[in-house]
Amino acid sequence: MGVKATSPPRKNGPGAATPQGREDIATAAKQGSPTRSVRRASSGRQQVPLAPASVFGPVGRRKCWWYSYRCRTCGAYLFGRARSLDTVTGERRAGCGHRVHVMAARIYDQPESGAAA
């Protein structure tokens, strides 16, 4: 008979420290209905529909970030370019003429050495 350690170390911290920033974005994208979160805290301002975008990072000789999204108002699929990931997110007028709030929902990061054959 061996002697067993009876009390393994256990984490009992209040509200285990799980970083949640990323999870929020992921689940929001999965659910595909951001109506709930969009609805709050817009005091009187006109609401601009959120357009979750797929963003493609720069690769090879391409220096821009490309992104595609869908206009919530008319359903058109649109395409855009941005200098940096930061400038992808934000409010703008889409190609169809409607205002959209583009949000980087999915980011396709490219490998560092995109030039490698």
CB of 77 within 8 A of CB of 70? yes
Q: Which is nearer to Zn ion, 8 or 75 (CB)?
A: 75
Closest separation between CB of residue 67 and Zn ion, Å?
16
CB of 55 within 8 A of CB of 85? yes
CB of 51 within 8 A of CB of 71? yes
Q: Which of residues 84-103 bind Zn ion (CB under 5 A)?
A: 96, 98
Q: Is 73 in the site for Zn ion (CB under 5 A)?
A: yes
Q: Which is nearer to Zn ion, 99 or 106 (CB)?
A: 99
Q: Which is nearer to Zn ion, 26 or 74 (CB)?
A: 74
Q: Which residue has the tokens 């220096």?
A: 63
CB of 87 within 8 A of CB of 66? no
Number of residues counted as binding Zn ion (CB under 5 A): 6
Query: Candidates 28-36, 57-65, 72-80, 104-112 — which segment interacts with Zn ion by CB under 5 A?
Result: 72-80
Q: Which is nearer to Zn ion, 76 or 107 (CB)?
A: 76
What's the rounded Cα separation, in Å, for the pair 69 and 71? 7
Q: Which residue has the tokens 């709050």?
A: 40
Q: Which residues pair with 53 in a beta bridge?
A: 104
Query: Candidates 21-29, 40-48, 65-73, 102-110 — which segment interacts with Zn ion by CB under 5 A?
Result: 65-73
Q: Which residues are at the interface with Zn ion (CB under 5 A)?
A: 71, 73-74, 76, 96, 98
